[in-house]
Amino acid sequence: MKTTTRERYAYVALLATAGILGLLLSWTVPAQGIDNSVYDFFFRLHMPAAWPLETEVLGIDEQTLNQFGGVGGIRKALARGIEIIAPAHPRAIAVDIILAEPNAADDELETAFRTVPNVVLSSDLLTEDRWDDPIPRFRALAAGVGHVSADLDRYDAVSRSLPLEKVAGRTRHWALALEAFRASRGGQVTESPGSLEVGGVTIPVHRKEAGDAPMIRIRYVPPARGGIPGYSVAQLVENPKLAAAYAGKVVFAGVTAQTAMRDRWMTPFSGGIAMAGVEMNANAFETIAHQLFLTDASDSLVLLFCAVLVACAGLIYAFAGGWRATALAALLLACTHILPYVTFTYGTVFPYMPGVLCAWLAVVAAASWRHFFTGRILVETTESRARYQRAMQFVTHEMRTPLTAIQGSSELITRYALPDEKRKQIAGLINTESKRLARMIETFLNVERLSAGQMELKREHFSATELVDQCVTRAQPLAERKNIVIGAQAVPDVDLSGDRELMEYAVYNLLTNAVKYSPPETRVVVSGGRARGELRLWVEDRGIGMDKQEVKRVFDRFYRTRKAEATGEAGTGIGLSIVEQIVAQHGGSILVDSTPGKGSRFTLVLPLPN
Ligand code: ADP
């Protein structure tokens, strides 16, 4: 396909617009919603191989609350639970219960805490700059304090990620899961821009923006594998032997009773059923301990991916067409849809919508462009074919008359021994007819080239009066044959600008038509007037005239009125269409007033040069 530089730029601009629009749309709420659903779908589709769990939940469920006197008995229940599991030697205990106020059971709880190693307590954000920290007596015992703030998705409130750090005022707390991990492994948390290092594990973190909290995505233990195991305090009280399950485990203690649960979380697995915060924290611990990290693709990588997709769509439709382009585009779209899943299986979360939107929009834009472009080429070829046909028709119609004259005359000269006088006359006729033919061809071709935009109109200055006089002189012999008088009246002596030869063709045509379609012994008048920067030239006759319908079609190629055919005057129906084009090329117009049986007036309106 041949394209101009401008068209190439327009194509690139169109694709760029499609790409930008795709990116903008991918930031809208519905698109983010779809992104989330797709993430959850991948999450359920591709699960990491089962790993030995390191955590165990110590739950305070409904039954426990009943036994220990309701919500007020939570600390008592916790103390009891720890007391039961302590002999099994758990590795650490992370308590997902806020211990910010003193309570009657605190002595009991303190005693229990002293029986287990690595107690990690929790704190919650009270306000922007205040923590709801544990009371000093517990704090003094704790190996660490971690925050239990959630970071639910702002579109659907599902827990997919966990902020590993929260800051309020001047105090920063690591997440409870991270503190528990640190306590279970020993050592400190060291920070670098893209990761945190603790206990020999490098945790790749993602920050929404520079300065934001470092996030990790939580790999929930699939419900099909039973989630995080554990018992409630009530179960342990009933059967203390169950405590053996806690041997060497990192215990996450917290409320699991649906009625008293402070925090409920939806997870990609939960399908509407809430998970207790304590379990979520245990899951986050497993993610860190077993390095089941899912990292988010960087924004620049997503942008690059989208740009590559748009470029591919552009290239496909620039170099291929038909089914080949469709097949390639389908392949591109399929890859776009599948790639996020493939990267997911390798632990990289690639947002789904930016690529999909960019690829679809770019394919639609490129395909439409191609469609429009090939359509235009088709129109162009149809137009040039039509022009060619017009040329052929012109040759067969208009040229037949002079050609027959030339042919006949030349035959006369060759066949018969004619007197010199006659030979000269015939040779003269051949000469004028061939010149006429050449002029006709020239005029026709010029008008065609002009209307196809392949030729610049000549810009010569010539006198309007001289032009009219010349045409009248040329038409005189024709008029005399019908005893018609051509009168030229008051044509203003002004200069016109344009192609003199073409303008002569136009005026001459109007004059010969007036003579042809008028009965003998009538008058044809050419006159003119000048007003508001234009010259009006009109040719008026008292001929056969035309009705309104006929006037409408008079500029159609090859159209002739019935009355005109009936006059027996030779004609092709081409002349006026050429006149109209010539006048249009000169920036003017042509008007027709006509009454059947009374006569016609053709007016040329031509702009005067400044
Ligand atoms: P041609 O004269 O070769 O037929 P034109 O294109 O010059 O072709 O004119 C087209 C038709 O317009 C004519 O055939 C005729 O029917 C009508 N026409 C043109 N001029 C006049 C006129 N002065 N009076 C009546 N009819 C006219």
Please give the full DSSP string across 172-204, using - where no structure is assigned: EEEBHHHHHHHHHH-S--EEETTEEEETTEEEE
Q: Are both 241 and 136 inside the same structural domain?
A: yes
Residue 1, pLDDT above cutoff 70:
no
- Count of domains observed in the chain: 4
Which positions ≥6 away from 534 have C-beta within 8 Å?
Answer: 588, 605, 606, 607, 608
How many A from CA of 519 to the centre of ligand 1? Answer: 14
Say if residues 144 and 117 touch (Cβ distance below 8 Å). Answer: no
Provide the pLDDT for residue 151. Answer: 77
Does residue 233 sit in the same domain as residue 351? Answer: no
Residue 44 belongs to a domain: no
Ligand 1, atom 7, lies closest to the CA of 575
Atom number, ligand 1, closest to the C-alpha of residue 576: 6
Residues 276, 137: one domain? yes
Which of 342, 377, 412 delimits the end of a domain?
Answer: 377
Long-range contacts of 441-444 (CB under 8 A, 24+ apart): 441/399, 442/501, 443/501, 443/502, 443/505, 443/578, 444/391, 444/394, 444/398, 444/578
594 in any annotated domain: yes
Same domain, 282 and 358: no
In a domain, 382, yes or no: no
* Ligand 1, atom 25: closest residue by C-alpha: 545
pLDDT of residue 395: 66
Report the pLDDT averaged over residues 477-482. Answer: 89
Q: Is 107 exposed, middle or buried (CB count within 10 Å of its CB: 0-12, 13-18, 19+)?
A: exposed
- For ligand 1, the distance from its centroid to the CA atom of residue 541, given in whole angstroms, is 12
- Domain assignment of residue 156, yes or no: yes
Measured at the CA of 420, the angle between CA 416 and CA 426, to 5 degrees, comes to 70
Ligand 1 pocket, residues with Cβ under 6 angstroms:
509, 513-514, 517, 541, 543-546, 554, 559-561, 564, 571-576, 600
Measured by CA distance, the residue closest to atom 20 of ligand 1 is 513
Residue 260's pLDDT band, with cuts at 50, 70 and 90, is: low
Domain C-terminal end among 291, 315, 331? 291
Candidate from 525, 553, 554 with most ligand 1 atoms within 8 A of CB, to mutate? 554
Contact 547, 596 (CB under 8 A): yes
Q: Calculate how far, in angstroms, residue 403's C-alpha sits from the geometric centre of ligand 1.
A: 22
What pLDDT does 412 receive? Answer: 82
**pLDDT tops 80 at residue 576:** yes
Tell me: do 95 and 207 sit in the same domain.
yes
Closest-lying ligand 1 atom to the alpha carbon of residue 543: 24
pLDDT (tens digit, 9 = 90+) per residue, 359-386? 999 999 999 988 887 777 767 677 667 7
Last residue of a domain, one of 313, 347, 377: 377
CATH number at residue 430: 1.10.287.130
Ligand 1 centre from 563 Cα, in Å?
Answer: 10
Atom of ligand 1 nearest to the CA of 563: 16
pLDDT in tens, 56-70: 999 999 999 999 998
Q: What residues make up the domain containing 409? A: 399-456
Is 240 in the same domain as 272? Answer: yes
- Of 398, 511, 515, 517, which is best to mutate to test ligand 1, by the most ligand atoms within 8 angstroms of its C-beta? 517
Is residue 203 scored above 60 in pLDDT? yes
CA–CA distance, 286 with 217 (Å, rounded to integer) = 12
| pTM across the whole model | 0.62
User: 466: CA distance to ligand 1 center in Å?
Assistant: 25
Q: What is the pLDDT of residue 263?
A: 67
236 touches 63 (CB < 8 A): no
Is residue 407 domain-resident? yes
Amino acid at 342: V
According to DSSP, the β-strands at 264-265 and 275-276 are antiparallel
| Cβ–Cβ under 8 Å, residues 302 and 354 | yes
Ligand 1 pocket test target in 512, 513, 578 with most atoms within 8 Å of CB = 513
